[in-house]
Amino acid sequence: MQIDVFTLVPHAFAWLTEQRPVATVLGTELDLRLFGYRDTTPLANGQVDDAPYGGGAGMVLRVDVAAAALDAVYGGVPDHRVIALTPQGRQLDQSVVAELAGEERITLLSARFEGFDERIVTHLCSDAISVGPYVLSGGELPAMVVIDSIARRLPGALGSEESAVEESFSAELDGGLEYPHYTRPAEFRGWPVPEVLLSGDHGRIEEWRRDQSRARTAP
Ligand SMILES: C[S@@+](CC[C@H](N)C(=O)[O-])C[C@H]1O[C@@H](n2cnc3c(N)ncnc32)[C@H](O)[C@@H]1O
């Protein structure tokens, strides 16, 4: 899968690319490309944003700058999904992650300050996605959230330390929340591990885990 990110801060992604799962699949299952708006801006002095028409505070990412960035990489608006990361977008959840992970290529556009000129969202993008009902200072963290959530689904992404088969929101748990986990010591400060987990009875353990998952998931 190829994920392209357009950003004002390409170096912000260094940490992500050094960590699993992204580091594990980079160059094999995942091709991650980072593009800086300033590298292709048609404006002088690396300008990428401007004051909002109608007045008010802040700076808005210019549509000609975003278009020039897409032109430079794809020769226009590409056929694959181009996703604006914005609080006004469709909220990311596990089903949206699964949908995106099924694509061969996606492009993520991030903004900073006041956000996108709306024409970027309506004319250059096919989707708009929000990572939650709160406002972050830039689209870099949302882009990393999208990339990480997709990367962990790619073949070979996860080591033996974790499993994506049975985890929160998975079909194995009927889309519900995962049951609690415990590890050694079996008792700490008088806080014991549930007896069933020490019983060695896999049938009872499985039943307990399902019950816990259902109880946590119920509204
Ligand atoms: C400070 S925010 C802009 C907020 C915008 N003025 C508003 O009130 O909705 C700057 C940029 O961060 C990114 N961003 C912030 N919160 C986000 C969220 N919840 N989901 C996705 N992107 C977000 C977007 O790229 C956004 O354009």
* pLDDT tens digits along 172-199: 999 999 999 999 999 999 999 999 999 9
Ligand 1 centroid–CA 111 distance in Å is: 7
The residue nearest atom 22 of ligand 1, judged by CA position, is: 86
What is the atom index within ligand 1 of the atom nearest the CA of 130? 20
Contacts of 38 (CB under 8 A, 6+ apart): 8, 46, 48
What is the atom index within ligand 1 of the atom nearest the CA of 135? 16
pTM beyond 0.85: yes
The pLDDT of residue 130 is 98
Ligand 1 centroid–CA 182 distance in Å is: 37
Cα 90 to Cα 83, 93, 117, 172, 178: the distances in Å are 10, 9, 18, 25, 24
Ligand 1 centroid–CA 194 distance in Å is: 43
Average pLDDT for residues 66-80, to the nearest whole number? 98
What is the atom index within ligand 1 of the atom nearest the CA of 111? 25
Ligand 1 centroid–CA 26 distance in Å is: 27
pLDDT > 90 in the chain, percent: 94
The pLDDT of residue 219 is 77
The pLDDT of residue 33 is 98
The residue nearest atom 18 of ligand 1, judged by CA position, is: 87
Ligand 1 centroid–CA 135 distance in Å is: 5
Instruction: Report the distance separating Cα 82 and Cα 94, nearest Å.
Output: 19
Whether the per-residue pLDDT at 49 is higher than 90: the answer is: yes
Helix segments in the chain, DSSP class H: 14-18, 22-25, 37-40, 63-74, 94-101, 118-119, 140-151, 202-217
Whether the per-residue pLDDT at 85 is higher than 90: the answer is: yes
Whether the per-residue pLDDT at 202 is higher than 80: the answer is: yes
How many CB atoms lie under 10 A from the CB of residue 24?
18
The residue nearest atom 19 of ligand 1, judged by CA position, is: 87
Whether the per-residue pLDDT at 145 is higher than 80: the answer is: yes
Assign 164 a pLDDT band (cuts: 50, 70, 90). confident
Contacts of 161 (CB under 8 A, 6+ apart): none
What is the atom index within ligand 1 of the atom nearest the CA of 115? 27
Ligand 1 pocket, CB under 6 A: 85-88, 110-112, 114-116, 130-132, 134-139, 142
Ligand 1 centroid–CA 115 distance in Å is: 6
Tell how strand 187-188 and strand 191-192 pair up.
antiparallel
Tens of pLDDT, residue by residue over 88-133, are 999 999 999 999 999 999 999 999 999 999 999 999 999 999 999 9
Which two three-digit tokens encode residue 216? Answer: 């946590």
Instruction: Report the distance separating Cα 110 and Cα 61, nearest Å.
Output: 9
Ligand 1 centroid–CA 86 distance in Å is: 5
The pLDDT of residue 127 is 98
